[in-house]
């Protein structure tokens, strides 16, 4: 399955959407865990300007990793962290590119209360330029790859 996380209404292609929007394929609040999807059920993931709205983006990244198969690519778009225009009251989180580089092997939550085992590898990233209401704005996009081989080999040994 190809899953658009926070994608709103159903799409006219082979992607499924999960969103609080009643017109989504899977209607679900992304701040409620676990998401109603099977482990390792997704071949591809996409999120366009969703992570900055979530209460716990690290938990969302854990959920994305849980539903991703080994080798799944996760393409994420978010506001560029220095862009003043994106200082929206609806945005709860701001990300610097280094945040995504720390999502491998073990990532600590912001309050250090739990340790999550995820292994997202950054395979491509960059600043992107676009327009919003005729203004030039910047965003950031990153492609992550789920690397579950280390986890699988540890399970086989234990």
What is the domain-level CATH number for residue 11? 3.40.50.150
> For all residues of the chain together, what is the average pLDDT?
82
pLDDT in tens, 61-113: 999 999 999 999 999 988 866 655 556 666 667 777 777 887 775 555 455 45
pLDDT band, very low/low/confident/very high, at 151 (cuts 50, 70, 90):
low
pLDDT band, very low/low/confident/very high, at 154 (cuts 50, 70, 90):
very low
Task: Identify the pLDDT of residue 139.
Answer: 79
Percent of the chain beyond pLDDT 90?
Answer: 45
Question: Do residues 31 and 54 touch, judged by C-beta distance below 8 A?
Answer: yes
Number of structural domains in the chain: 1
With H, G, I as helix, E, B as strand and everything else as coil, classify residue 137: strand
Alpha-carbon distance of 93 to 95, in angstroms, equals 7
Q: Which domain holds residue 113?
A: 2-157
Residue of 95, 42, 90 whose CA lies nearest to 68: 42
pTM: 0.81
Q: What's the helix, strand, coil split of the chain in %, to 5?
A: 20, 40, 40
Alpha-carbon distance of 1 to 72, in angstroms, equals 10
pLDDT band, very low/low/confident/very high, at 157 (cuts 50, 70, 90):
very low
């Amino acid at each position: 399955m190809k899953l658009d996380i926070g994608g709103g209404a159903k799409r006219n292609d082979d992607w499924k959407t999960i969103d609080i929007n009643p017109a989504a394929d899977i209607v679900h609040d992304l701040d409620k865990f676990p998401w109603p999807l099977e482990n390792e059920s997704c071949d591809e993931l996409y999120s366009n300007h969703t992570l900055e709205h979530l209460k716990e983006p690290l938990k969302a990244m854990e959920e994305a990793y849980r539903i991703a198969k080994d080798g799944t690519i996760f393409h994420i778009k978010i506001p560029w962290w220095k862009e003043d225009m994106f200082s929206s009251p609806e945005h709860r989180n701001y990300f610097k590119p280094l945040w995504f580089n720390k999502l491998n092997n073990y990532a600590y939550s912001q309050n250090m209360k739990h340790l999550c085992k995820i292994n997202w590898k950054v395979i491509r990233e960059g600043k992107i330029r676009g327009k919003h209401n005729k203004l030039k704005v910047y965003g950031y996009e990153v492609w992550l790859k789920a690397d579950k081989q280390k986890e699988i080999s540890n399970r086989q040994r234990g």
